[in-house]
Chain A
């Protein structure tokens, strides 16, 4: 038996070594962005046709009218949501961003004359399997409209198929869903906007030559769309200074979905690879991850707010505090507390067989210490 144990142990070691050698060669051949681009192209093609038809037919007057009520925070004339049902599957309950979206939808629903009991809610828990399960449950409840906030665009195609078959329209939030109007942020654009803002700060400091590193705290497991939320930042720098200057100083790390702990570890690892870097431009997918990163920089004794140019995405409650505390230079606001102002008018329009624009983009703004009180008075 001891010989067998020895042979098994040696065998295990060999298997592990062979796996480590073979794995890099087996990594996914296809470029993930190709799929994203295909999905986006398909959506764009579909919606372009719709837009042309709609413009010919007279635009989105009903939706625009509802939007005006929503923006003003007034009751919608004629209570257009009365007697209708709305389903909302949230990407991940408990996260400040998602809670703000949900709260605003409920507020707007009431303003639109809807009964709070007629909104069906489910938490997708950032899990595609649960997202699908929730979609099935919502389908059984037969709502008039589904607002789908689910992280994987490819799984959304299955959800879309099921709801299309049932004749229930969908509105996609932040992640595209085939055959559905898209509401939310253009992840690449907001990230690019953040990059441009960081470049302004870098230029004021003395230009790119003074920058030792550019750090992108990403979440690859979140899918292609979420990757764009940091890659736009990088692209802004490349467009300004060229890839030959930017690529050698760019560092990417997986900071997780929003756990400060994982981001902290990722940042600690990066810091050890750039021991001499002092002037750094950095972004992350949200403010929770940035909290972990800043803690890691401070723990390493390398924090200097004058030398770290940080722009985050979202500007949730954590982000607002970070701006006020001088920890970050700016945050591209997604205004989750205004999402309902787009989603409910769009839902109400669909419920009343009216047309909805194919893309409902939030007007993003870079919030900094100079304008934070204007947008978010204390």
Chain B
């Protein structure tokens, strides 16, 4: 019996790795096609580095949101969080606070926003989709109220460095942040006890609870970190644009969640990988970049983006159905 169960787990793991591998093959294929068709522009340092730089704030949020989604929850408030963070950063700088202190305050505020979500979901028991759609409006509304809907310049050496700085004068700092966040989330999700708890909760919350896992605590911490990371994303975006505006991050929640789902994370929880999310984020960014280089209208891009999302997720479902039939 135990052997059968282990075999099942082994099969599932094997399947997960395959899905991620398929995604990276698709990504590699896209890179090759884009490099050939979009030559000489696509595969150039001048294009690829800004492209990765510009996806960094999406990537860091997507990595941590994957953890939340694997537990079976979701956070739609990330876009609003980014908007409020941008406004708060600009306002605090305008009032003369030092850059490092602004970073600390903003990240703490992000953590508080995440904790608020976590509390509403885990303590009061509101469905996370409803709760975070509500807070999405609240965060953005506060952003608009604080700034009167106007954009505010956000220039400061520390803030500038977050989005536009270079490590060793070569590597853009947002790319370093992206790598660090993905590495940490990868280790936590796939090589730690905490990660196993996350998967267990997503697969079966009741069984996890009965086996001694503090389900609410894990979910609460997930929301808290997600809020803080969304604020980090907001900081990067504010720095990239040198402006704090409440419109920042508008509609970004759908793009980020699409990337995560594209990466193989299931909305119901229990399934999903950090590498899959990384591939998902890159696939959508490469797609946008390539189609823009090819002068394709945005309307068509939306069609292509939606089609690819449905195609890849359908492939997962079909494979899943085939495996179920076999077993």
Contacts and interface: CB of A to CB of B under 8 A. Distances in A.
Interface of A: 4-5, 8-9, 12, 15, 19, 23-24, 26-30, 32, 35, 93-94, 119-123, 125, 127-129, 132-134, 136-137, 139-142, 152, 154-155, 157-158, 220-221, 223-224, 254
Q: Which 5 A-B pairs have the closest CB atoms?
A: A140-B47, A220-B149, A136-B50, A123-B298, A32-B150
B289 interface: yes
Interface string B129-169: 00000000000001011111111110000000000000000
A93 B152 contact: no
A221 B245 CA distance: 9
Contacts of A24: 145
A223 B299 CA distance: 25
B243 A155 contact: yes
A154 B155 CA distance: 11
B120 interface: yes
Given A125-B298, A129-B252, A254-B149, 16 more contacts: A5-B123, A19-B142, A23-B145, A23-B146, A32-B148, A32-B150, A35-B150, A94-B299, A128-B248, A140-B44, A140-B46, A141-B293, A154-B152, A158-B242, A220-B150, A221-B246
A12 B124 contact: yes
A123 B47 CA distance: 17
Nearest to A138: B292
Contacts of B142: 19, 23
Contacts of A139: 46, 50
B246 A30 contact: no
Contacts of B289: 137
Interface in B277-327: 288-289, 292-293, 295, 297-299
A12 B242 contact: no
A221 B149 contact: yes
B54 A133 contact: yes
B141 to A, nearest CB: 9
20 contacts: A8-B124, A9-B124, A12-B124, A15-B116, A29-B94, A30-B94, A32-B148, A120-B295, A127-B247, A128-B241, A129-B237, A129-B240, A132-B241, A136-B50, A136-B54, A137-B50, A137-B289, A139-B50, A155-B242, A220-B148
B297 A221 contact: no
B89 to A, nearest CB: 13
Interface size class of B (residues with CB under 8 A): 35 or more
A35 B145 contact: no
Contacts of B288: 133
A152 B243 contact: yes
Contact of A12 (B120, B148, B245): B120
Given A137-B289, A221-B149, A157 B144 contact: no
A128 B116 CA distance: 29
B15 interface: no
B77 to A, nearest CB: 15
Nearest to A154: B243
Contact of A29 (B95, B149, B241, B298): B95
Nearest to B247: A221
A43 to B, nearest CB: 15
A238 B198 CA distance: 63
B250 interface: yes
A137 B146 contact: no
B47 A137 contact: yes
The winner among A5, A125, A132 for most chain B CB atoms within 10 A is A132
A152 B94 contact: no
Given A4-B123, A35-B153, A141-B293, A28 B54 contact: no
Nearest to B296: A121
Nearest to A219: B149
Contacts of A8: 119, 123-124
A5 B94 contact: no
B125 interface: yes
Nearest to A220: B149
A124 to B, nearest CB: 9
B150 A28 contact: yes
B151 A154 contact: yes
A132 B151 CA distance: 15
Contact of A28 (B51, B147, B249, B299): B147
B41 interface: yes
Contacts of B53: 136
Nearest to B239: A158
A19 B150 CA distance: 20
B179 to A, nearest CB: 20
A223 B150 contact: yes
A154 B295 CA distance: 26
Contact of A129 (B246, B248, B298): B248
B243 A27 contact: no
Contacts of A137: 47, 50-51, 289, 292-293
B69 interface: no
Contact of A127 (B144, B149, B250, B299): B250
A43 B297 CA distance: 32
Which of A19, A23, A28 counts the most B-chain CB atoms under 10 A from its CB? Answer: A28
